[in-house]
Amino acid sequence: MIKRCYLTGEFVFYATARAKRPHSFHKPQEKSVPKQYCPFCVENVAMTPGVIYATENDEIRIIPNKYPFLDKDEIDFGVHDVLVDTKEHEERMSDFSDERMYKLMQVIKMRFAELESDKRIKYVQVFKNQGREAGASQSHSHWQITALNVVPLKMEHLIGVLRNYYYEHNRKCYFCSMEFGERVVEENDHFVSYLPADGKFAYGMDILPKRHISTLDDFTEEELKAFGVILRNSVKRLVTLLDGISYNVCLYSAPISGDNEEHFHFYAQIIPRIGHMAGFEFSTGCYINSVLPEEGAKALRQVEIP
Ligand SMILES: [Zn+2]
Ligand SMILES: [Zn+2]
């Protein structure tokens, strides 16, 4: 079966004949680097270029990336932060408490707003790489926040698709109109976690606020709390089902300017790193997904979480 991803235009081949059982995806996260070499452990603070922000007890810290890909000069301005979300070297986000997740979301929202307030910044991307397969060079749990003076092509394209949908459907938002069917993994009062009908990643989930909000800035305290819980739970389901698999989390929030409030709907994406992009994907821009969304959702739903 071939589907075309509505948001990206990419073709996805659902190769269910190649369907694998979850255990055959086995690709656990690597062993942690020893604590004494970890720049994200509080006692090794001298290994990092300073602290931008820290909560009480240093539970969550924002530090400048030691190897930023962005300059701080006036022409190509950008910021590249690391947000260390736990003091514990081995602790993973999937085991954080509700309170920690709430605090984490508050800190992300705060830093997001701070970076956006710089006139030179056009777009802020928040993401998490967990595990080597997901691109994390440090095993200690952390996020990255990049503030760019350009709007990336992917975001520009997404905005165009959502804007067109909005005007072609009598001013209805694409995400607000979405029906989830059998693809829901979990929901609470404010959010739903589900597998997109045209998703290109096996077991890949999106998390959507039920209220139409276009940016992280508009999250209420209640929504921050609820988002933290559903994000933690969704990741917990994934790493339980796929035995500690590496994953990425990406938060998509409307760019600062451009009047995107009506058609852009904030969402988060969880990407399990089951297979690598290889020649086929690079050359064609097409993807192969061996798990149907309904089947993936069912398996994730059935995982018992504490
Ligand atoms: Zn550490
Ligand atoms: Zn919406």
Task: Report pLDDT digits (tens) over 272-291.
Answer: 998 778 888 999 999 999 99
5 backbone φψ class: left, alpha, beta (φ>0; ψ -120 to 50): beta
Tokens of 285: 């821009």
- Closest ligand to Cα 38: 1
pLDDT at 261 over 80: yes
- Cα-Cα-Cα-Cα torsion 131, 102, 88, 186, nearest 10 degrees, comes to -40
Q: How far is the CA of 289 from the centre of ligand 1 (A)?
A: 34
- Closest ligand to Cα 264: 2
Q: Where are the chain's structural domains? A: 2-301
pLDDT at 238 over 70: yes
Tell me the CB-side half-sphere exposure of residue 88, using CA atoms within 13 A. Answer: 7
Report the length, in residues, of the chain.
Answer: 306
Q: According to the model, what pLDDT value does residue 89 have?
A: 95
Q: According to the model, what pLDDT value does residue 115 have?
A: 94
Q: According to the model, what pLDDT value does residue 257 have?
A: 85
Q: According to the model, what pLDDT value does residue 70 have?
A: 66
Q: According to the model, what pLDDT value does residue 46 have?
A: 87
Task: Report pLDDT digits (tens) over 117-140.
Answer: 998 899 999 999 999 889 888 899
Q: How far is the CA of 161 from the centre of ligand 1 (A)?
A: 41
Task: Report pLDDT digits (tens) over 217-227.
Answer: 999 999 999 99
Give the largest CA-CA distance in the chain: 58
Tell me the percentage of the chain whose pLDDT exceeds 70. 92
Positive or negative CA dihedral for 218, 208, 240, 130? negative
The mean predicted confidence, pLDDT, of the chain is 92
Q: How far is the CA of 158 from the centre of ligand 2 (A)?
A: 14
Cα–Cα separations (whole angstroms), residue 270 to 30, 105, 166, 233: 19, 16, 25, 12
Tokens of 3: 């589907």
pLDDT at 74 over 80: no
Q: How far is the CA of 61 from the centre of ligand 1 (A)?
A: 12
Q: According to the model, what pLDDT value does residue 235 have?
A: 98
pTM (predicted TM-score)? 0.94
B/e letters for 83-102, b = 16+ CB within 10 Å, e = fewer, are: bbbbbebeebbbbbeeebbb
What is the C-alpha separation between 290 and 202, in angstroms, rounded? 6
Tell me the percentage of the chain whose pLDDT exceeds 90. 75
Name the residues around ion ligand 2, CB cutoff 5 A.
173, 175-176, 212, 265
Q: According to the model, what pLDDT value does residue 18 have?
A: 61
Q: How far is the CA of 265 from the centre of ligand 2 (A)?
A: 5
Q: According to the model, what pLDDT value does residue 25 have?
A: 58
Cα–Cα separations (whole angstroms), residue 152 to 12, 88, 112, 217: 23, 34, 17, 20
- Closest ligand to Cα 142: 1
Mean pLDDT across 165-174: 97
pLDDT: which is higher, 256 or 223? 223
Q: How far is the CA of 129 from the centre of ligand 1 (A)?
A: 15
Q: How far is the CA of 58 from the centre of ligand 2 (A)?
A: 36
- Closest ligand to Cα 141: 1
Greatest mean pLDDT range, 76-85, 133-142, 198-207, 274-283? 198-207
CATH of domain 2-301: 3.30.428.10
Q: According to the model, what pLDDT value does residue 19 have?
A: 57
For 31-35, 180-184, 207-211, 244-248, which range has the lowest pLDDT when averaged over its residues? 31-35
Mean pLDDT across 256-274: 95
Strands lying side by side in the sheet with 287-289: 2-4, 11-14, 287-289
Task: Report pLDDT digits (tens) over 30-62.
Answer: 667 888 999 999 999 888 888 999 999 899 999
